[in-house]
A and B are shown apart, each in its own frame.
Chain A
Amino acid sequence: MQHIVVFPILFPLFSALLLLLPPCGKSVKARRFASVGLAAISLIINICLLSHVLDIGTLTYAIGNWQAPFGIVLHADLLAVTLTCLASFLSLCCIVYSCAGDDAKGSFFHPLVHFLLMGVCGAFLTGDLFNLFVFFEVLLIASYSLLMHAADKHNTRGALHYVILNLVGSAIFLIALGTMYGVLGSLNIQDVAARISQLTNDDVSLAKIGGSLLLIVFALKAALLPLHMWLPNTYSNAMPVVAALFAIMTKVGVYSIIRVYNSIFSPGSGPLGAMGQDVLWFAALATIVVGTIGVLASKDLRKLVANLIVVSAGTLIALVSLQQMQATAAAIYYLIHSTLVCAALFLCVDLIASQRGKVADRITTGRPVKQGLLIGVVFFAAALAVIGMPPLSGFVGKIWILKATYQQGDYALFWPIYLVASLLILVGVTRAGSIVFWQNTSKDIDKIDVKPIHKFKVWAVYILAGVSPFMVIFAKPITDFCLQAAMQIHQNPAVTQLTGGL
C-alpha cells in the first residue's frame, strides 16, 4: 500500500504508452474506449490515495529508497493529493468530451492528455525542487503539442509565443535552482526550508536572488500581472477542450507558490521570512483589476473565459501571499471551484460556438443557439458560480475569502477591489450571456440545420458544472477538509523531520 504514492505518476505514463501501441494506436474506437477507461482508473487510484492520506496522514515516499536529502522524495499531503484528484477528474471529463469528435482532428490527442496528467500529478506530488522542474517540463511539452492540436494558421503565432515564453521561464527556473543549490547545498523542499534560516551575511542575499527568481517563474506559470500577457491569447487560440484542460495549469503555478512560499519563505524562516510579500500582494490585486478589465473588453466568449482565469489566479495569489491558515484554506476551496467552473465554461463556449454558425462565439447579434435551453441552463449555472452569486459554490468561496482577509486586517484595500471586480464581472458575463442567447436575428429556430450536440459533450459539461452545487451542499465537510489541508501546509517545516524510506 505504501507504493500507492507513486501510482498517480506512473499510471498515466503507462496509459499514455499503452494508447500509442496497437490496437489503441490504430483504431479510433479502441483508443477512445481505452482512454476513458484508463483515465477513470487513474481517478480511482487518486481517490484511493486520498482516502489513504486521510486515514494515515502525510505520506513521504523515497523513490528507489534513496534517503531524503540525497534522493528524490514524493510528498503526498492532503493538498497535493486533492489536486491530483482534481486533475484526474478534469482530464476524465475532457477526454469524455473529446470523444465526441475533437480528438480525431489531430493526432495523438489521448496519449498527450495522459502525459499532461502525469506531469501535473508529478508537479503536485514531488517534494524536490529539481524534480518539480522536470515535471514542469513534462507537462509543458505535452501542453505545447496539445496547443497545436488541430491548429490552423491563426493558432501558430499564439503557440509560438507560449513556447518561447515558457522556454525562457525554464532557463530562469534552472538559474534559480543553481543559485539555491550553490548556497544551500540541497534541493529537497523540507531540507531547504530547514537550512535557509541558518544562513548568514552574503549567503542571505544570494538565497534571496534565487528565491526571487523562483517566485518569478511560478508567477509566470500562474499568470500574475506583468507576466500574464500570454494567457488570454494562448487559451483562446487553443481548442476549447484543450483550454479546459489547461485550466489546471495555472493552478500548478499557484500550487508551487503555496508549497514553496509557505515552507521555504514561511514567516518563521529567519531573515528571508515572508520575502516579497508586498510584491505578491500588490501584483495579485493588479492582476484582479487587469483581468476584470479584460473581461469587460472581450469581444468573444473564449477571451472572456480566459480573462476569468486571470482574475481567479490573481485572487488565489492574493490569498496565498497572506501566509495565513484561514486564507490558504479559502484559497484551496476557491482553487477547486474555479478550476472546474472555468473548464465547464470553456466547454460550454465550444457548444455555443458550434451552434451559431459563422458568428461562432463572438459576443454579437447572430443566429440563435439552436439547443438554447440545454446549453443556456449550464451556461447560466457556471456563470453564476464564476461570478460568485448565491446559491452556487462561488458564493461560499467569496464569503470565505472576504472573511479570511477581514480577519487578517487586509480588507481596506482588498474588499473594494475584489467586490467592484465581482460587480464588473457580473456586468460583463451577463451582457455576454444575454447577447448570445437572447439578442438574435429573427430566424425560425427550426429551420437552422445544425447537428444536435453529441451526448458525450453534454454529459461532460453537466458533470463539470454539477460539481458546483455539490460543493455547496457539502460545504461543511469540504471547508473542514480545506482547513485540515491548510493546517498541514502551515506546520512549521523546520520542526517536521526529514523522513523518507520505506
Chain B
Amino acid sequence: MELLYSVCVGVLVGCGVFLILRARSFPIVLGLTMLSYAVNLFLFASGRLTINKAAILSGSEQYADPLPQALVLTAIVIGFAMTAFSVILAIRARADLGNDYVNQLAQANNKTGVRK
C-alpha cells in the first residue's frame, strides 16, 4: 500500500511540476491543482497509513492520528481559494495581455519558432 501511495504522490508532483514549467497560464493552473492534490495526500500520509483504525471516537481501542486529517482539511480549503484566485487572475491576464504566456521570453521564443 505504501509503495502504491508514494508512487501516486510522486507521479502527481511530477505532472504538476511539468505543467507549471510549461509557462502558459492554463497548464500552470492545472499543474498547481495537481501539486496541491499531491501535497494533500502527502500530508495525510504523515500520520502514517493504517487500516482498521477508527477515525472518530467510537469506543475503539486504536485511533488514527486525527491531526493530519485536520491539517488536510485546512489545506484543501486554502488550496481551493487559491486555485479560484489564480484562475480569475489567469483569465484577467489573458484579457489584458492578449495571450496566455506567463513570461515575455517564452512568448518571444514561440513567435520566432512560428516564423521559421
Chain A interface residues (CB < 8 Å from chain B): 70, 130, 134, 137, 141, 144, 148, 152-153, 156-157, 159-161, 163-164, 167-168, 170-171, 174-175, 177-179, 181-182, 187
Contacts and interface: CB of A to CB of B under 8 A. Distances in A.
B60 interface: no
B96 A164 contact: no
Contacts of B81: 141
B20 A178 contact: no
Contacts, number: 83
B102 A141 contact: no
Most chain-B CB neighbours within 10 Å: which of A161, A171, A182? A171
A163 B20 CA distance: 13
The 9 closest A-B pairs by CB, nearest first: A182-B46, A178-B46, A156-B96, A178-B43, A174-B39, A153-B96, A181-B46, A156-B93, A171-B35
Contacts of A174: 39, 42-43, 75
6 contacts: A160-B25, A160-B90, A160-B102, A164-B28, A177-B43, A182-B45
A164 B90 CA distance: 10
A144 B85 contact: yes
B46 A179 contact: yes
Contact of B97 (A144, A157, A171, A182): A157
Contacts of A137: 78, 82
Nearest to B38: A171
Contact of A134 (B32, B78, B89): B78
B5 to A, nearest CB: 13
A171 B36 contact: yes
A181 B66 CA distance: 12
B89 A161 contact: no
Given A141-B82, A157-B102, A167-B82, A177 B71 contact: yes
Interface in B1-40: 20, 25, 28, 32, 35-36, 39
B68 A181 contact: yes
Interface of B: 20, 25, 28, 32, 35-36, 39, 42-43, 45-48, 67-68, 71, 74-75, 78, 81-82, 85-86, 89-90, 92-93, 96-97, 102-104
Given A144-B85, A159-B89, A182-B47, 7 more contacts: A152-B96, A156-B92, A157-B103, A167-B86, A174-B43, A178-B68, A179-B46
A130 B97 contact: no
A181 B85 CA distance: 29
Contacts of A164: 20, 28, 32, 86, 102
B46 A130 contact: no
A164 B20 CA distance: 9
A139 to B, nearest CB: 12
Nearest to B66: A70
Given A134-B78, A161-B103, A177-B43, A168 B71 contact: no
A178 B85 contact: no
Most chain-A CB neighbours within 10 Å: which of B20, B42, B75, B92? B75
Nearest to B94: A156
Most chain-A CB neighbours within 10 Å: which of B28, B43, B92? B43
Contacts of B74: 130, 134
A178 B39 contact: yes
A205 to B, nearest CB: 16
Contacts of A160: 25, 89-90, 93, 102
Most chain-A CB neighbours within 10 Å: which of B32, B45, B81? B32
Contacts of B96: 152-153, 156
A168 B39 CA distance: 11
B89 A148 contact: yes
Contacts of B97: 153, 156-157
A216 B18 CA distance: 20
B45 A163 contact: no
A161 B93 CA distance: 11
A157 B43 contact: no
Nearest to B74: A134
A175 B39 contact: yes
A195 to B, nearest CB: 15
A182 B85 CA distance: 30
Nearest to B17: A168
Contacts of A159: 89, 93
A106 to B, nearest CB: 13
Contacts of B92: 148, 156
Contacts of A163: 85-86, 89
A175 B35 CA distance: 10
Nearest to B25: A160
Contacts of B43: 174, 177-178, 181
Given A157-B93, A161-B103, A178 B45 contact: yes
B55 to A, nearest CB: 17
A144 B89 contact: yes
Most chain-B CB neighbours within 10 Å: which of A134, A153, A159, A175? A175
A172 to B, nearest CB: 9
A94 to B, nearest CB: 23
